[in-house]
Amino acid sequence: MAEEVNKAIFRRYVEEVTNRGNLELADEIFDRYLAHQPGGLVLERGPEDVKRFNGEFRSAFHNFRLSIDEQIAEGEKVVSRITVRGTHQREFRGMAPTGKEIELKGITIFRFSPEGKVVETWDSYDQLSLMRHSVEQELQVARSIQQASLPKEVPQLEGWQVSPFYRPAREVGGDFYDFHLLSEGRLGLVVGDATGKGVPAALVMSTTCGMLQAVSQTLDSSSPGEVLSRVNETLVARVPPNMFVTCFYAVLDPEKGALRYANAGHDLPYLYRGGDAEELRARGMPLGLMPGMSYEEKEIEIDAGEAALFYSDGLVEAHDPERDMFGFPRLRGLVAKHGGEERSLEGTLMEELYSFVGEGWEQEDDITLVTLRRSRIRS
Whether residues 255 and 333 fall in one domain: yes
Per-residue pLDDT at 379: 44
The answer on pLDDT for 153 being more than 80 is: yes
The whole-number pLDDT of residue 88 equals 85
**Highest mean pLDDT pick, 58-62, 124-128, 194-198, 252-256:** 252-256
Q: Which is higher by pLDDT, 336 or 132?
A: 336
Q: In whole angstroms, give the CA distance from residue 182 to residue 151.
A: 15
Q: What's the sign of the alpha-carbon dihedral 331, 336, 338, 344?
A: positive
- Using the predicted structure, report yes or no on whether residue 142 has a pLDDT greater than 70: no
| pLDDT value at residue 318 | 94
Looking at per-residue pLDDT, the higher value among 246 and 169 belongs to 246
Clarify whether residues 353 and 253 are in a common domain: yes
The whole-angstrom separation of Cα 239 and Cα 194 is 10
Domain presence at residue 235: yes
Please tell me the distance from the alpha carbon of residue 197 to that of residue 169, in angstroms, as a whole number. Answer: 10
How many residues make up the chain in this entry?
379
Over residues 286-293, mean pLDDT: 95
Residue 117 shares a structural domain with residue 144 = no
Rounded to the nearest 5°, which phi and psi values hold at 324?
Answer: -80, 145
- Which residues, in sequence order, are bridge partners of residue 72? 79
Q: Looking at the 3D structure of the chain, how many domains does it have?
A: 2
301 is a domain residue = yes
| Residue 45 and residue 76 in one domain | yes
**Which pLDDT score is estimated for 130?**
53
| One domain, residues 191 and 242 | yes
Q: Is there a single domain that holds both residue 96 and residue 168?
A: no
Average pLDDT, the chain: 89
- Same domain, yes or no, for 161 and 235? yes
CATH number for 351: 3.60.40.10
Asked whether the beta carbons of 158 and 171 are under 8 A apart, the reply is no
Position 146 scores a pLDDT of: 74
Co-location of 75 and 175 in the same domain: no
- Tell me the range of 87-91, 107-111, 227-231, 234-238 where mean pLDDT is highest: 227-231
d(CA 85, CA 32): 28
pLDDT given at position 29: 96
Who's near 163: CB < 8 A, 6+ residues apart? 154, 344, 345, 346, 370, 371, 373
State whether 322 and 355 are in the same domain.
Answer: yes
| DSSP per-residue codes, 62-100 | EEEEEEEEEEEEETTEEEEEEEEEEEE-S-BTTBPP---
Tell whether the model's pLDDT for residue 99 goes beyond 70.
yes
Residue 375 in 3-state DSSP? coil
Q: In angstroms, what CA-CA distances link 61 with 24, 57, 65, 95? A: 20, 6, 9, 12
Q: What residue numbers bound the domain in which 173 lies? A: 138-374
Q: Do 90 and 23 sit in the same domain of this protein?
A: yes
